[in-house]
Structure 1
Amino acid sequence: MADIDVIGGGLAGSEAAWQLAEAGHTVRIHEMRPTRMTPAHKTHALAELVCSNSFRSDDATSNAVGVLHAELRDLGSIIMRSADAHQVPAGGALAVDREGFSAAVAAAIEAHPNITVLREEVTALPAGPAIIATGPLTSDALSAAIAAATGADALAFFDAIAPIVYRESVDMDVAWFQSRYDKPGPGGTGADYLNCPMTRDEYEAFIDALLAADRVDFHEFEDTPYFDGCLPIEVMAERGRETLRHGPMKPIGLTNPRDPQVKAHAIVQLRQDNALGTLFNMVGFQTKLRYGAQAEVLRMIPGLQNAEFARLGGLHRNTYIDAPRLLDPTLRLKTAPNLRFAGQISGCEGYVEAASTGLMAGRFAAAELSGTIATVPPQTTAMGALLAHITGGHLSHESTGPRSYQPMNVNFGLFPPVTPIATGRKGRGQRKAGRKAAYAERAREDFAAWMAQTPVPQAAE
């Protein structure tokens, strides 16, 4: 018998298992793939990346997700270790080779003497200690079991998957390599994105075609809300003709080397998706258009007129619980404290955030199994801020939680305000940069202090 079960072998489940195993506890990971696949996964690999290959910004000096990267590294994250080992150029972002990353996580997990991987579907909640990290595509049977245990219906929305283009099919007489503001980032060169420019007329024609294109018809889930951080491009276009031009198609920080005096009206960016540089994904271009219409509309983009697609966009279900009402500050289910939730099913959004909650759930469970008290990182840190959002830690204990709990990426808006800093005659942009730097500096200092006070409890010999 293992000390604890982890249900789900995604980023959160893999990270939770790793932390527990490194602390000396025996763990069983239950992963239903390939016995039962999901609509979005293509392989049975542990920690498979589905929606994107980007872990977003790696800047720990002024970006909240970069701070979260640093905190994960400080705590020995297997997810970050594997991401760092398999990064591909992506400007200021940390992007990875999908297959290499997943293979590295799987190799570490499967080789660990304290971890057993079981390929089976779990349809009922375990009676013993367990971490539920089944992600946004939790099976119907387990979703029903969770709903029965919590007395609450699962919430659902759709995440959209961006298309992937073969690099050789991009017209390089039109497109060019450049990162926004020439920012190199980790492992980058400052010229890591493919950029496809549009004139005003081309942009307007594209919007017209996008709005008129045939879409997938969702009968059962028509009323399901979208997460604002991952809207399909056609939904963004419906919100206003300029929405895309101020979102994923914004032209700022980029200059066409063939005509540097003329600024593009809009620009589509593609980011390297694998280590070989043969595949590029369309940044922010998640969509629910039908495949035929999708290819037709996307080939209206200059530079992609002959594009060949390794994968077209699609949608998958995202299920998550009303965590502020259901979970305690250490991610335990209040009605069944032997169970913890981690990853996207807890209501966080993003790969790094999922790994973070998995890491914390693993550490909290390790403390409990060792007979010690788990301590939560302060809300001034990235992990603490994210946990507070998920568990309602920023609310009074009398509160039942927010009226509408929505998935959230880590951001400085989740952190307590920093003490105002002297700005003198600095402009608005400088003041904003100063605040971000202050948030990041305080987070790093407070996280280091928390780490020094909370060593990982080790299992008894």
Structure 2
Amino acid sequence: MSRIHVIGGGLAGTEAAWQIAQGGIPVTLHEMRPLRTSPAHHTSSLAELVCSNSFGALQSDRAAGLLHEELRRLNSIIIQTADRHAVPAGGALAVDRGVFSQVLTDTLAHHPLIELRRGEVQEIPPTGILVLATGPLTSPALATALQNFTGMDYFSFFDAASPIVEGESINRDIAFLASRYDKGEAAYLNCPMNKQEYLAFWQELIQGEQTELKDFEQETAKFFEGCLPIEELARRGEETMRFGPLKPVGLINPHPGTDSPYAVIQLRQEDKAGQLWNLVGFQTNLRWGEQKRIFRLIPGLEEAEFVRMGVMHRNTFINSPQLLHPTLQFKQRPTLFGCGQLIGTEGYTAAAAGGWLAGTNAARLARGLTLLTLPDTTMMGALFNFISSASPKHFQPMPPNFGIFPPLERKIRKKQDRYVGYRDRSLLEIDKLQAEIYERQIS
């Protein structure tokens, strides 16, 4: 049977290679380190954790924890290894990162169907089944090759992304739905501010504590004037935001007894169901705790639930809604799969989940089996449905969160009970899937 190639030995590539081998297909895993280094990595080990050693919340009624549990039930090598080498971290799944990466490296290197090949891949092989898992620090040569293949620009820049909040947590008694000058369909939720509220918000914003950038990111940051963090814009003057993303012109507050707004924060719908809303123009480098504190000063967002915080970092990701199916196949080449941060998912566990699906489907393709499209009632399915169907114009990376789930059949008002309902529905689907995969493997 023809060998499958996986490019990139991070969390996604490691998981993909393992699942391909578990499917009985020989696989070559290409990792450029240590022959070519990256500015973020420090070792030559597979699945190196370059930031925190934490995979996020452990409880399965939390978004990250549910994704852990789904992968655990689907025999993910990443989560199995994390469980075995966990360290105390309160309610989070955290690992001894050195041991974790070394164990995975040794495990894959000794698998009879896995060849670990060191060296940079500079071109996309034109034939055969291939999984791309090169992450946000894809080498320049391969980035150019992918750019040429897709015929479109990478989203490759010093990225300052806006926060996203759950629609149900926005106070609609304050926020109102409207477009400027009532042109077209009312597409934005608008949070109005009076002058006193605006000035208090401006003061907190310019004094907010920021995240320190890595050395290689500091060199890049100065080139992106068109994507300034909101706090940097605020520092340019008291009125600057009112002539930028917070301009109130063309917006009339329809709520009775209200004056014309002095400033307006607009939120743009992020998903088809209207469950996720993006703070327009609020790309930021504030620390996450500061974001929650300061952005909840915005009228209507006092109890906002954030599904993704604003981030500012070196990032490379493709426009997945234009390029990928929910199976993680490229639309223009069904034998090519993508996974990991390259396709616009965020977080360690989401990278492993993408590797699981890309690797599983690559092996199924090689064996002539129907490829898996995961139900969007699972965290994995919801995540891959989102990145393959979101608006291409406004696409930004997405972490696992409950805001991308379809509603439950029975409406549950209490948030924590609703999350339990999401979990129970999801794990029923995962158990069905696991049983189906197992039956096919032994038949």
Cα 1:206/1:342, change in 2 over 3 Å: closer
Letter in 2 for 1:409: P
Q: Is the 8 A contact 1:375 1:454 kept in 2?
A: no
- Higher helix proportion: 2
Q: Is the 8 A contact 1:149 1:335 kept in 2?
A: no
2:343 maps to 1:346: yes
Match of 2:186 in 1: none
Separation in structure 2 between the aligned mates of residue 65 and residue 341 of structure 1, nearest angstrom: 21
- TM-aligned CA distance change 1:205 to 1:155, over 3 Å: closer
Pairing 1:413–2:412 present: no
Is the Cα contact below 8 Å between 2:30 and 2:118 reproduced in 1? yes
Distance (Å, rounded) in 2 between the aligned partners of 1:225 and 1:22: 46
The answer to whether the Cα contact below 8 Å between 2:31 and 2:119 also exists between their aligned partners in 1 is yes
1:435 to 414, 418, 424: 418
SS of residue paired to 1:94:
strand
Matches within 5 A, 1:80-159: 80-127=79-126, 128-158=128-158
Residue of structure 2 in register with 1:59 after alignment: 59
Q: Does 1:374 align with 2:377?
A: no
| Contact kept? 1:330, 1:364, Cα under 8 Å | yes
Matched positions, count: 336
How far did residue 375 of structure 1 move? 2.1
Cα distance in 2 between the residues matched to 1:32 and 1:44: 9
Shift of 1:105: 1.0
Distance 1:438 1:209, change over 3 A: closer
Matched, 1:232 2:222: no
> Which residue of 2 is the match for residue 9 of structure 1?
9
Question: C-alpha separation between the residues in 2 aligned to 1:434 and 1:235?
Answer: 25
Q: Does the 8 Å contact 1:370/1:457 carry over to 2?
A: no
Q: What SS does the corresponding residue of 2:153 show, helix, strand or coil?
A: coil
TM-superposed CA distance for 1:64, in Å, is 1.9
Q: Deviations over 1:66-101 (max 9, x none)?
A: 111111111111100111111111111101111011
Q: Which residue of 1 aligns with 2:384?
A: 387
| Paired residue secondary structure (2:41) | coil
User: Which residue does 1:27 correspond to in 2?
Assistant: 27
Matched, 1:219 2:202: no
> Does the Cα contact within 8 Å between 2:23 and 2:364 map onto a contact in 1?
no
User: Partners in 1 of 2:368 and 2:345 — Cα distance?
Assistant: 28
TM-score of the two chains, using structure 2 as the length reference: 0.68
Partner of 1:447: 430
Indicate if the aligned counterparts of 1:122 and 1:142 stay in contact, CA closer than 8 A.
yes
State the identity %. Answer: 43
Matched AA of 1:326: L
Question: Which stretches in structure 1 are left out of the alignment for 5+ residues?
Answer: 161-203, 247-283, 289-314, 396-400
AA aligned opposite 2:425: R
Aligned equivalents of 1:56, 1:236: Cα separation in 2: 16
Q: Secondary structure at the match of 1:30?
A: strand
Aligned residue in 1 for 2:74: 75
User: Helix, strand or coil for the counterpart of 1:447?
Assistant: helix
Report Cα offsets for 1:114-140 as digits up to 9, x if no partner. 001111100100122110000000011
Q: TM-score by structure 1 length?
A: 0.66
1:202-235 CA-partner distances (Å, limit 9, x unpaired) = xx99985957x99946333444578999953369
- Superposed CA RMSD: 3.5
Q: Decide which of 347, 352, 356 is 1:355's aligned counterpart.
A: 352
* Counterpart secondary structure, 1:28: strand
Following the alignment from structure 1 to structure 2, what is the Cα–Cα distance between the partners of residues 405 and 331?
16
2-side partners of 1:319 and 1:52: how far apart?
Answer: 19
- d(CA) in 2 for partners of 1:17 and 1:129? 12
SS in 2 for 1:403: helix
Distance 1:98 1:363, change over 3 A: same
Looking at structure 1, the residues matched to 439 and 65 of structure 2 have their Cα atoms a distance apart, in angstroms, of: 23
User: For structure 2, which runs of at least 5 residues remain unmatched after alignment?
Assistant: 161-202, 230-277, 299-307
Kept after mapping to 2: 8 A contact 1:68/1:383: yes
- Distance in 1, matches of 2:434 and 2:151, equals 36
**What is the rounded CA distance, in whole Å, between the counterparts of 2:104 and 2:48 in structure 1?**
9
Instruction: Tell me which residue corresponds to 1:293.
Output: none
Query: C-alpha distance in 2, partners of 1:240/1:455?
Result: 44
